[in-house]
Structure 1
């Protein structure tokens, strides 16, 4: 375990404060940097350049959309790789990038801090094939929420999805606020999460996607609960733009959303092996010195709504949660204040719900 792991530990009650402080710093920078960043930059192709953060060894839906030729007015400029959702939306809010994506609860908090941003399309979630879970060692006496009082949970970042999901599970299990405060969250990079659990440095650890699959293959761990057990099929994260950018470049944002929606839909209706082959080709062709080791673990888009259409409940759940926790004034926001589906072809009438990426009815492939 890295020597810096324990200094990052904070009681659950304190993690939200840290996230709020970080968001506040991001918001303070908006006036300095975003105002000059709203003017669209046109690349050599004649298309508008959108700067973004990527993800090592993985293909994002905007990258897939660009590769599939779904953008007409947009070209992408990769500026680096994101360390997580909060960092991604902070970069977008401050104008370091043009769009970013994160867990919807973090986006509501960023909006509440005064940052003028809007969610435009869902990009990840949980379904029966792709979801995050929380695991203990096989034979652990920890089996229900009350068992976690005084215990530790390893998560990839503070103030993000894992924290919200954990608190929801503990609350549903009947724990009081004081009892929840006794559950400790410790920051553990996903690549180290399994090892940290097996070495007994945490009592529970969050695992998802490839890290979850690899850990389960090796055996010796058992699920405590999962996102799927709490919310079922559910989209958790959205891409955001600054409101001023949307106002000044509506056609660019519209093209980004329609192209990304079609790419999501392509992945929803295309056989898994074909999607993996496309991802492999993209990663090998972009010259970032990555491996394609993660590609075989891709199972699904993880989004059930056609083309990443945002559903009210995916936003209202976290607004209500923040109100319940006393972190947001009741009635301050409705879901419509946070997101729009106006540019999504699967929501605005351009394509029917059962259409594929080209607008024609299609059978969903396994």
Structure 2
């Protein structure tokens, strides 16, 4: 299968470089009145159940309904769709959220929705007999991942830096876009030297055998929330009640999945996929173990963004004082648990 050409490490996340002028402000309302829409447009993932979809099925969204408009290809694409008004919310890796906000997009992260723990993590895998054992061994090598400018590329960068590679050496490592369903096959065929695998695709590849992890994001950073759902500031201003219903409902779904027996969560998600009738395979849902969200109810703190702000600033992707972590998010609409941040 064809592989995308290599991208310079110095242009991390440039795929998100959109101007503030191009950013939409959500759906208009007559006379500027508060809308509190009861319909939220969104993008999903084939064969998967997102937390908002789970929240709706559990009744946590009340009279607010989700309107599926298609499936997203990546987190960066998903939050761009939200920022430009094509959808009402989107989710992405927090580094991508930082980059988009720094470009002038009026967005606000409102709840964490995925992360890394001992069950939910992404691994960087090589063939079992591969000579690759360290960060330095990746110079000149191809690393396949689902998209550039997002979680997988950022964690690769951290691993390379901690491995002592210079900027010039890091630029010689070649991250490539490989569709997740093709990553294992590309690795085994020698089209790439390293493949990033997570969830069911990771577990199925490990069950087949013949591969080993070079490192995992959990080994690098421990338990951490990695991505957030965002709303535009205009949407929040015009739909504060709906925003609170959405965020609190997703928070409840996070905790329902965390405290409910795994087999019951899998059964519920399987039924959701079957009911929506999109000709999807439900077999992979049986491998679900965790959403990996670190904080109770998906509440966000400065730490979720500070690491990526510093990392991007060091690389010249954003200005050193361009943005503050506390400006990127709010817990104001999260009614699960105590405390709030406006």
Normalised to the residue count of structure 2, the TM-score between the two structures is: 0.94
Q: 1:181 and 1:320 mapped to 2: Cα distance?
A: 19
Match of 1:120 in 2: 110
2:186 paired residue number:
196
Instruction: Extract unaligned runs of 5+ from structure 2.
Output: 31-35
Look up the SS of the partner of 2:319 in the other structure: coil
Q: Give distance in 2, aligned partners of 1:181 and 1:194.
A: 24
What is the aligned partner in structure 2 of residue 322 from structure 1? 312
Distance in 2 (alpha carbons) for counterparts of 1:270 and 1:206: 29
| 1:89-138 deviation line (CA, Å, top 9, x unaligned) | 01101100000000000010000111000000000001101100101101
Is contact 1:47–1:75 with CA below 8 Å preserved after alignment?
A: no
Q: What CA distance in whole angstroms lies between the structure 1 residues aligned with 2:320 and 2:260?
A: 42
Matched, 1:99 2:85: no
Structure 2 residue 68 is the aligned partner of structure 1 residue 78: yes
1:168 pairs with 2:163:
no
Match of 1:251 in 2: 241
Secondary structure at 2:206 match in 1: helix
The residue that corresponds to 1:23 in the other structure is: 16
Deviation at 1:23, TM superposition (A): 2.6
Alignment correspondent of 1:142: 132
8 A contact 1:27–1:93 mirrored in 2: no
Cα distance in 2 for residues equivalent to 1:325 and 1:102 = 20
* CA distance in 1: counterparts of 2:123 and 2:237, whole angstroms: 39
Instruction: Give me the whole-angstrom Cα distance separating, in 1, the residues matched to 2:111 and 2:40.
Output: 16
Aligned ranges for residues 225-240 of structure 1 at < 5 Å?
A: 225-240=215-230
Q: Give structure 1 stretches of 5+ with no counterpart.
A: 41-45, 351-366
Hey, what does 1:332 align to over in structure 2?
322
* Aligned 8 A contact 1:26 1:94 in 2: no
> Structure 1 residues 71 and 205 mapped into 2: Cα distance closer, same or farther (>3 Å)?
same
Q: Number of matched residues?
A: 335
TM-score, normalised to structure 1's length?
0.88
Alignment of 1:178-189 (within 5 A): 178-189=168-179
1:9 counterpart residue number: 5
* Deviation readout 1:182-236 (Å, 9 max, x if unpaired): 0011110000000000011111111111110010000000100000111001110
Question: Residues 37 and 239 of structure 2 are in contact (CA less than 8 Å); yes or no, is this contact kept in structure 1?
Answer: no
Would you say 1:151 and 2:144 are equivalent positions?
A: no
Q: In structure 2, the residue corresponding to 1:102 is in which secondary structure?
A: strand
Name the CA distance, whole Å, in 1 between partners of 2:19 and 2:53: 26
Secondary structure at 2:73's aligned position in 1?
A: coil
In structure 2, distance between residues paired with 1:299 and 1:209: 8
Residue of structure 1 aligned with 2:56, choices 50, 59, 66: 66
Q: Which structure exhibits the higher relative contact order, with contacts defined as CA atoms closer than 8 Å and separated by 6 or more residues?
A: 2
Q: Distance in 2 between matches of 1:332 and 1:347?
A: 32
Contact kept? 1:47, 1:72, Cα under 8 Å: no
Q: Distance in 2 between matches of 1:243 and 1:69?
A: 26
With over 3 angstroms needed to count, the CA separation of the structure-2 counterparts of 1:215 and 1:83, relative to structure 1, is same
User: What RMSD in Å do the two structures reach over aligned CA positions?
Assistant: 1.7
Q: Does the CA-based 8 Å contact 2:26-2:234 persist in structure 1?
A: no
Post-superposition offset of 1:47: 6.4
Give the structure 1 partner of residue 100 of structure 2: 110
Q: 1:29 to 1:331 in 2, by over 3 A?
A: closer
- Mapped partners of 1:26, 1:67: distance in 2: 36
Other-structure match for 2:202: 212
Q: How far apart, CA to CA, are the structure 1 residues paired with 2:195 and 2:17?
A: 29
Aligned mates of 2:127, 2:26 — CA distance in 1: 51
**How do 1:342-361 residues align onto structure 2 when only pairs under 5 Å count?**
342-349=332-339
Is 1:117–1:240's contact at 8 Å kept on the other side of the alignment? yes
Q: 1:132 aligns with which of 118, 122, 132?
A: 122
- The Cα of 1:72 is off from its aligned counterpart by 2.6
* Pairwise CA distance, 1:11: 3.4
Q: 1:216 to 1:164 in 2, by over 3 A?
A: same
